[in-house]
Structures are given as C-alpha cells and as structure tokens.
Amino acid sequence: MIGRSRRSRSKAAAPRDGRRSADPSRRPGPRRPPGRRLPSPWGPGTLAAQVFLLQVIVVLVLVAAAAAALVLQGRYDGDNDARKRSLAAAEAFAHAPGTALAFAAPDPTKLLQTPVMQAQAGAGIDFISVLNTKGVRLADTEPRLIGTKAQDVGRAVAGETFTDTFHGKPADAVRAVVPVMDASRRVVGVVTAGIQVENVGYLLDQQVPMVLGSAALALALATAGTALVTRRLRRQTHGLGPAEMTRMYEHHDAVLHAVREGVLIVGADGRLLLANDEARRLLLLPPDADQRHVTELGLAPDLTRILVAGEVVSDEVCPAGDRLLAVNTRRTAPYGDAPGLVASFRDTTELRALSGRAETARGRLTLLYEAGVRIGTTLDVQRTAEELAEVAVDRLADVVTVELLEAVLHGEEPTGAVHRMRRTALRGSRHPLQPVGDLIQFVVADTPMVAALRQGRAVLVPDLRAAEDWRAQDPEGAGRVLDSGIHSLIAVPLRARGVVLGMVNFWRGAGSPRFDEEDVAVAEELGARAAVAIDNARRYSREHAMAVTLQRSLLPRDLPEQDALEVAWRYRPAQSGVGGDWFDVIPLPGFRTALVVGDVVGHGLHAAVTMGRLRTAVLNFSSLDLPPDELLGHLDEMVSRLDTPADGPDDGEGSLVTGATCLYVIYDPVGGHCTFSRAGHVAPAVVDPVGRVTFPDLPLSPPLGVGGHPFESGELTLPEGSRLVLFTDGLIEDRRRDIDEGLSLLAAAVAHPDQSPEETCRALMETMLPEHPSDDVALLVARTRLLDPSHVAVWDVPFDVSAVSRVRTQVSGRLADWELEDSAFATELILSELLTNAIRYGAPPVRVRMLLGRTLVCEVSDGSNTSPRLRRAATTDEGGRGLFLVSQFADRWGTRYVADGKVIWAEQSLGRAPEPDPAALIDQLAW
C-alpha cells in the first residue's frame, strides 16, 4: 500500500485520548505538487545514509579479511612447496649412485662439487650442500662455504631425515636435511638442500596485485548494490502526505474497534491508554476508564495482576464475571516510542465447554484403542481377563472385577447355568471385594448383575447407597463396600456368539464422579471386545488341550524292553503348540533294534494326526522286517497316496503331508552293525567311547511324499559303548543361529565319554533349547551294546538232508553248554523242521545261527527268496505240518529277506518250556 508512494508524510497527531473517530466529511488531501522537493535523503541523520555507511564498512571488513586470508594461505603454500622441493632434491642427491662412494674417496670435494652444481640448477632450488658426519661442508653451490661447518644437522647424522626453517648464516632458508648411508646402512654424510626465505614469497608477490584488484572490484560491486538497496528504502519511507496518513489511521481505527477481540494498551505507569469496543464489553469497563490506573477498573484479580506486572503471557485463561477469557500480552517496545503493554482478550467460555467434551470423547476413544491393542495379547483366558481389568482401572473405573464361568476357564463350551462364576481378575486398591478365586453366586433376582445377565446388556447403578436391590443379596458385604467409598457401578455381561461367558463390574469410589450413560456405552464396548478375546482364548485352550492329548497319546509312553541299546528320550512341544515330531524304538527279530525319528512340517491337530498315521505305518512296515531303504520306500508310496486329492468338495483345511522327514536306523548287536536310511532328515551324531563326535556322511533322499526318487542306505560298524544321537531339526535350528552353529553346540554338549544317554538328553535340553522353543523337538539317545560272542553259535550246513541230524546233535551240545536242557526238545524240533524245509525247498548256502540273550533265537538262512507260509494240511497230505509245529513250540517266528536269500527265525522264552495245544496237535497230525 505504501511501498512506492511518493506522497508527503502526514504531520497530524492523534487525539489525546488515544482514539479517533472516522469523520465521513474528511477526505484525503490533495496530492503533492509535482515540482515540490523532498529533504535530502542522504543526510547524516537519515536511515538511508546510515544503512549505506554500515554496508560499506561491512564490505570493507570482509574484503580485508579475504585479502589477509589469501596472503596467509599463499605464504603457507609457498613454505610447504619449498619444503617439498628441498626434500625431493636432497633425497634424490643423497640416494644417487655414487654419492655414498664419494665420501670414501681421498678427495670427496672433487667428486661431489660438479654434481652439486648440476643438481641445484636442475632442481630449481637455492643451494645444495654435502657435509661429512662432523657437519663440515665438502661441496656447496657456494664454493666459498666449502670447509665451513653447518649448524643443526645432528639429527641427520643420527640417521633422521627432516625439514625445517633455518635461521642463521649464510642465510635464512627453508631446508631439508637427508643422511647419506652406505651399503651397510651406516651414515657416511649429510645432504642439505633448500630455498632462501626471501625467495619463498615470490609467488605471493605475484598474487598481491590480483588480490587487491579482486578486493577493489568486490568493494565496487558491494557499494553499488548497497546504493540500490538504500535507494529502494528511501523510496519506501518517503513521500506520504497528510491525507494518506489520515486515511491509513482511519482504516486502522476502524479495524481496531470492529474486530471481535478485546484490545487494551496500558502505559508504563499502569494507566489505560486505549480500549476498543470489544474490550469494554468483555471487561465491563466504565465510560471514564481512559487514563485511569488498571487497579481502579474493577477487573478480576488474576487479570489485574497480569496487567500491573507487565507479564508476557500466551492464551492464559482468566475468569471475568461469568466468562472465561484467553489473555495474550506483549510489550510495546520496540514497536512504540514509549514503553507499555498491549493485551488482547478472547471469550472462550463456550469453546472451553466444547473443548472439555471433546477432551472427554478423545480420552474414551483412546481408551477403546488401547483396549483393542492390550486386550487379547495372549491366548490365555485368565490373562485376558486381567488385561481387561488393567486397561479399565484409572481410565474408566477405580476398581474392576471380572468373573467367568467355570467351563470357560477350563476351555469348555459355556453352559446355560450363568449364576455361578469364578472371580478371575481384580484390579484396584483399597476395596473389600472378594479376592480372585472365590466363587461368585447370583441368587437374588433383582440385583444389577442378575438383571444384566437376564437382559444381555449393561446395567447402570449411579448411586449404590440408594440401590436397595443391590444390598439385598449380602447386606454385610454391601455395607463394607459402601464404607470403603465405592458409590457407583456398571455391570456388563461378557457375551460372545450370543452366549454368556462371564461378567465384568466397573466400580467408582470416593473422589470420582458417578457413572453416566456415556460411561455405559464405553463399558459395553470394552466388555464386547474382551468377550471376543476371552472366547478366542477359550477355544484355543480347548484345541490346544485336544492337540496335546492327541500328541501324547500317539507318542510312545514306555520304551520296549531290549538288550541291544540303552535308550533315553525327550520330547519338547513348541511354544505355539504341539507339532509333528515323533520317535520310536522297535525291537526286531535276532535282538536287533530299530530307531526312528521323524518330523511333520507344521503344528496343531493336523500335524499331530499326520504324525500318528506315519508312526503307525512305520510300526506296521517294521513288522515285515524290511531293510531301512525299502521301508522308507513303502512309507513314501503311502504318503504319496495320502497326498493324492480325493474327488469331492475341498474342506479348505488340507490334508497333505508332503514335507515329512524320517530317519530309520537298524542296529544289530551281533558285531555292532548299524544300517541307516533317511528321507530329508538331518544326519545323526555318533559319539565313540572316547568322546569323539562325528556326523556321518549318509546318503540323503528327498522328504516323504515327493516320489520318483530311490532311497539309499548307509552302513556303519559301531564299537560297544558308542552313542547314537537322533534328533529333529528343532534342536539345532533357531532364529538366533544357523544349522552349522547348532551342530557345533550339539557336538560340544555330547563330547563327554562318561555321559549316559539320560545325562546326554539332559545336557542337550539345557544347552540347546530356549525356555520357549519355536519348534517342537524329538530327541533319542542310544548307547550300543554287543552280544557276548559266547552266546552266538553258527553252523554252515551242507545242502543234504542227511546233515540235519548232525547239526541237531551239535545244537543240543551248545544248548547243554548254555544250561538250556529244558529247551532242547522244542529247539531240536524247530530246528529240524526249519532246516529240512530250507534244504528241501530252498537253495544253498544253508546256515544255522543260535543266539542267546533275553530269549533263545534259532535262525535258518538259505539262498532262496521263496517264503514259506503256514497252512492247514488236509488229512491226505503227506506234508505241510512243519511250520504249524514251529508256531506251536515257538513264542514267535517269521521270515526276513536279506540280500542273498532269506532267514526264517523262531524265538523261545527262557525258563519255561512251551506248552502247545494238544488238541490242535492231534488235529494237525491226524492221518
């Protein structure tokens, strides 16, 4: 509005009372005549002249500082360059071929003087001197100095190269001093080179004119720019006439009195200088308030204190009658000629009420947000109830109690009996309410709790003292509650899926207002959110209990009795629930033992059921006495059939078991032979009797269910006392470490030769697993034993029926040595039948092996793959009764296939003779 005006300045003064009314008859005065001259704007007292002088002084200081910096930098660069050139020249001459040899010559000066002159001319330095170890010059660019002694070269004689600024004769110089060493690294002389100080600054002398010229140019440009800025300032502060000033004042006066904000101007003496219309209305000022002291205006004490003290405040709320005013004060200095205070006022009465309601609503929204975040963080029913109480206390209520049905606490479906609940959570201080764990019964029909359960919504009791129905159930307890200061209640039923799970009660005590309807809405929302979280936790608890029960029922409870291995095991479920890891120990014929460890990917019921199916399949296949690779092949085929989707609608839960891994091991105590086969599983650890730990490189096949790949087996021979450590990947894998680190920790934990399998399991559990593992773990540790060689008897039998009687006699003799005469008859009968069948229907070679352990085992092997079978012979058949006799006299018998034929075995218990069924024998032997 006034930036480019050329009108004259108004010299009219405002009225004495500080106010001026807008007179419609007043009009802006005539424009300044075009030929009128203004006072000179460049006088020493004008703002333009002062600004111009200040800018020129600042530019001069900056230019001087820049010039000084350039001079100092130039001098520093020149000195640094002189040092580098001197050092380069001195080192080049000192290390030149022949320099060190010249010192050993009869006349070193003759050999060195000419090279010194040439080096000085080529390097562009002032001097080069060659000294002996006593500091005497042998050659110098100044021949007159030859034979004189140089100063301060002792450091070079000691073998140190250095540069310095030398002050002394023949001249001050920047020099470099370099020792000359012979082939044995012995100092034989010194070379100095340098530039005289008076010549170091020749570059600076060349730069000074340029620096001064640049400074002058910068000064000229800055002066011109300052002149332009000053001219612009002069144009913006001159030329306003009285009419323009009057009109500007009238506009300001109109705005001051029309604005909906009170304004006061108080002088330094505390007298009121100006008050606009809004201030007079808000503060109820008297008509003669102008020029009166603020203490005489009848203002509120807080407002009077602020105005008298001259404090600077921002939006401080002060009462004024029935109003609340937001006060802002600022000092007039440096904006005015006289010191004083400007105060502004805004009526915030209605805004304050709205802000209070908004703040309350915001607090409730914040409470509900925190409830959504903090309630239900764990899938635990009791903890969820405690979280509800923790969120509501001090934000909505002073005391919170939560009661749940017994069925809900146990993870069961809630029943219709909702009048008996267990107090699950209690939060708050200084209250006589029943503690956690007490049984709460609602027996009076008119209590707020019963009404809330019946209606399915919250019930508000704003004043407990006036609620006779609340005190009817337990008058004595109600009296204690009222005496503690509790005076208001909201009872909210916890409902989810239309079913009551429990009850939450919100209580307020002394110092808190009564509950109102808005509090009821918040309480119901809290109860609804908590009920959903509690129901989810209840359902999870039920499913988790079912999965745990199923998992434990599918895992082996007790290990079978066997003599080949000393076994210990551990199973640790994951933090998220049960999984699909399993293990098994399966006795096989011939005192052999199968060890199995497997893992099904995933957790929960599906993984547990899949694990049970796989374990059952392994047990069934093991009964066929298959080699490990063949057993895993049959298991893989079974899994592939399970993975094939059946026709029909998809239930969405999936039943695929692809991803299962398995390690199957057969240990034979006769010789300590061990056969392994694994399908996608980690290799076991083998600990020899002296504590060395290895992870054998066994053939690895794909996981079960992939199909299309053959399974291979590996073999090891283990000395007695070795330990086999079979485990699932949850033992070694973790978010905090990789597999290699886990295997290293496992090896360190089991590398103790005197550990038993039980101690090995304990050490691995304590070392490898955190308190809450992320994956379930199955661990099986077995220490090997060997069958006593004296309890093993082997006979190679000629392929002739006549050899049967001879072998039978030898077996009888061995049974006598073992003191098993009571079993001789049955054993001879079994041996005769099996050996006769092998010679008659089998193929050579035929071998008989007797094993004595917990039982007596008789094995007959031949080279045929034909499997005998038990059948009922007809009365006209001449044969077919041998296997029946074997089954009657043996506890168990069977056939297993080996690489070069088959083995038929029969097992008898020790200490008792078998008692076959006479009727069955007569029936089978009848002709």
CA pair distance 773, 771, nearest whole angstrom: 6
Sign of CA dihedral 81, 86, 91, 96: positive
Q: Are 551 and 629 in contact (CB under 8 A)?
A: no
Residue 717 in this model has a pLDDT that exceeds 90 = yes
Residue 835 in this model has a pLDDT that exceeds 60 = yes
Strands (E), 819-891: 846-852, 855-862
Tell me how many degrees the CA angle 124-129-130 measures, rounded to the nearest 5.
Answer: 130
**Across-strand partners of 710?**
none
Burial class (CB in 10 A: 0-12, 13-18, 19+), 198: exposed
Residue 697: CB atoms within 10 A of its CB come to 8
Residue 356 one-letter amino acid: G
Sign of CA dihedral 634, 640, 641, 642: positive
Q: Please name the residues in contact with 538: beta carbons below 8 A apart, sequence gap of 6 or more.
A: 381, 408, 411, 412, 501
Question: Is the model more confident about 561 or about 538?
Answer: 538
Residue 493 in this model has a pLDDT that exceeds 80 = yes
CA pair distance 859, 827, nearest whole angstrom: 11
| Closest among 680, 681, 687, 777 to 732, alpha carbons compared | 777
Residue 227's region, left for phi above 0, alpha for psi from -120 to 50, else beta, is alpha
- In 3-state terms, what secondary structure has residue 510? coil
Q: What is the pLDDT of residue 134?
A: 83
What is the percent of the chain with per-residue pLDDT over 70, rounded to a whole number?
Answer: 83
Across residues 675-685, what is the average pLDDT? 94
Residue 650 in this model has a pLDDT that exceeds 60 = no
- Residue 206 binned pLDDT confidence (cut-offs 50, 70, 90): low
Question: Is the model more confident about 349 or about 561?
Answer: 561
Q: Are 580 and 607 in contact (CB under 8 A)?
A: yes
In order of 170, 232, 240, 537, the CA distances from 40 in angstroms are 66, 15, 15, 90
Q: What is the pLDDT of residue 351?
A: 62
CA pair distance 280, 698, nearest whole angstrom: 99
pLDDT in tens, 773-828: 778 889 999 999 999 999 999 999 898 888 888 888 898 999 889 888 888 888 88
Q: What is the pLDDT of residue 27?
A: 38
Q: What is the pLDDT of residue 665?
A: 96
| Closest among 787, 812, 805, 807 to 796, alpha carbons compared | 807
- Residue 183 binned pLDDT confidence (cut-offs 50, 70, 90): confident
**529, two tokens:** 């959110």
Q: Are 133 and 156 in contact (CB under 8 A)?
A: no
Residue 191 in this model has a pLDDT that exceeds 50 = yes
- Residue 239 binned pLDDT confidence (cut-offs 50, 70, 90): very low
3-state SS of 390-423 is HHHECCCECEEEEEECHHHHCCCCCCCCCCEEEE
Q: Are 580 and 608 in contact (CB under 8 A)?
A: yes
**283, two tokens:** 């503060």
- In 3-state terms, what secondary structure has residue 791? helix
CA pair distance 152, 164, nearest whole angstrom: 10
pLDDT in tens, 592-614: 999 999 998 877 777 778 888 89
Tell me how many degrees the CA angle 118-122-126 measures, rounded to the nearest 5.
Answer: 85
Across residues 895-911, what is the average pLDDT? 86
**695, two tokens:** 């992870």
Question: Is the model more confident about 75 or about 179?
Answer: 179
Q: Are 679 and 711 in contact (CB under 8 A)?
A: yes
CA pair distance 422, 405, nearest whole angstrom: 6
Across residues 726-750, what is the average pLDDT? 88
Question: Is the model more confident about 89 or about 486?
Answer: 486
Q: What is the pLDDT of residue 142?
A: 84
Residue 880 in this model has a pLDDT that exceeds 80 = no
Looking at 575-584, 654-663, 666-675, 718-727, which range is the least confident one?
Answer: 654-663
pLDDT in tens, 19-41: 443 343 433 434 444 444 444 44
Backbone angles phi, psi at 169, to 5 degrees: -90, 150
pTM (whole model) above 0.85:
no
Q: What is the mean pLDDT of the chain?
A: 80
pLDDT in tens, 510-519: 888 899 888 8
Question: Is the model more confident about 371 or about 52?
Answer: 371
- Containing 302, the helix (H) or strand (E) segment is helix 301-309
Q: What is the pLDDT of residue 238?
A: 45
In order of 376, 387, 409, 426, 771, the CA distances from 383 in angstroms are 8, 6, 11, 12, 20
Pairing of strands 700-701, 673-679: parallel
Q: Are 833 and 885 in contact (CB under 8 A)?
A: yes
**870, two tokens:** 């038990």
Q: What is the pLDDT of residue 207?
A: 64
pLDDT in tens, 852-869: 988 899 999 998 887 766
